[in-house]
Amino acid sequence: MLDDKIKRVISAVVLVLLIIGFIITGGVIFKIGALGIIAIALYEYINVYKSTNNKVIACVLIFGYIINMFIILFNKTEFVLPMVYLIVLLSMAVPVFTKFYNVISSAITIVGYIYIINFFTLLTFIREWENGSRLILLVFIIAWFADTLAYYVGRKFGKRKLCPEVSPKKTVAGFIGGIIGSCIGVLLWAYFIVKIDSAWYELVMFGIVSGIISQIGDLVASLIKRFIGVKDYGNIIPGHGGILDRFDSILFVTPVVYYYIKFFLGW
């Protein structure tokens, strides 16, 4: 039997290599890989709520997934916001006609669509831009740098708890470390990977914002799991849990990076 730490390291390395491989390959292969990940994440999300009194309206999410499949494959960015409206409408309408679902079902279905399908869809759009293989790296760099620095700074200097009722191990020092990690990651990405001509203080400001949001993503995932009463969303990644356990911060960072690149960098 492999030690848990070794298992975690091996799983992390394999996951990173797979992500890099899909990013470099791009095109239809990347999109199919993304759709596969979305499908697993949706299954995890729907499945964890089955043990509660609040059920996800699975048919609405499946419908949203099928439509977004075409949006992703054909890069139809103009349909993203109309789809959000349609899913909100359907999610709120279903409980009107059946007692099996309630208003909470509507809420968690809408969250599931935006959090998983919509955010993942934006991630595929970034890859489609010119130099997309380099641009998309910013999403992962922010999430990974923030997570890594938060862990080590929190472990070394963390005393005051950040929000113990949500995540007992998170500390204020770790949270600050995560922000610093995000800033370092953004600067490295800007000056060494894409080599853009942006002022360092603008990049640091973006690093602060994205670092905060990345860690909020982690905390939100923890809050949902505490509400449901589960430790992990799944077990598909040995030693790490499910897809949603590993992509929580990445998903929250994705729209921030997407709109930053689109509106501030002019891609």
Domain limits, the chain: 4-264
- Break the chain down into helix, strand, coil percent, rounded to 5: 80, 0, 20
Q: Contact at 8 Å (CB) between 136 and 69?
A: no
pLDDT at 79: 97
| pLDDT reading at 247 higher than 90 | yes
Which of 126, 100, 154 has the alpha carbon at shortest distance from 253? 126
Whether pLDDT at 96 is above 90 = yes
Residues 29, 218, 61, 125, Cα dihedral to 10°: -40
More confident of the two residues 172 and 4? 172
- What distance in Å separates the CA atoms of residue 178 and residue 183, rounded to the nearest whole number? 9
Average pLDDT for 62-71: 98
Cα distances from 17 to residues 22, 23, 31, 68, 105, in angstroms, run 9, 10, 17, 26, 37
**Range scoring the smallest mean pLDDT among 2-11, 99-108, 160-169, 233-242:** 2-11
- Average pLDDT value over all residues in the chain: 94
Q: pTM, whole model, 2 decimals?
A: 0.93
Q: Is the pLDDT of residue 4 over 70?
A: no
**CA–CA gap between residue 251 and residue 112 (Å, rounded):** 12
H helix count then E strand count, the chain = 11, 0
Q: What is the pLDDT of residue 3?
A: 66
Give the pLDDT confidence of 151-192 residue by residue, as tens digits. Answer: 999 999 999 999 999 998 999 999 999 999 999 999 999 999
Quote the pLDDT of residue 12.
82
pLDDT for position 44: 96
High-pLDDT (> 70) share of the chain, %: 99
Task: Give the pLDDT score at 2.
Answer: 56
Average pLDDT over residues 218-237: 91
Range with lowest mean pLDDT among 91-105, 133-147, 172-186, 226-240: 226-240
- Residue 254 binned pLDDT confidence (cut-offs 50, 70, 90): very high
> The dihedral of CA 124, 126, 128, 134: what is its sign?
negative
Residue 237, pLDDT > 90, answer no
The pLDDT score that the predictor gives to residue 105 is: 97
* DSSP reduced 3-state for 3: coil
- Model confidence at 13: pLDDT above 60: yes
The pLDDT of residue 240 is 80
Amino acid (1-letter code) at residue 8: R
As a whole number, mean pLDDT of residues 5-26 equals: 87
Q: What average pLDDT does the segment 87-110 reach?
A: 96
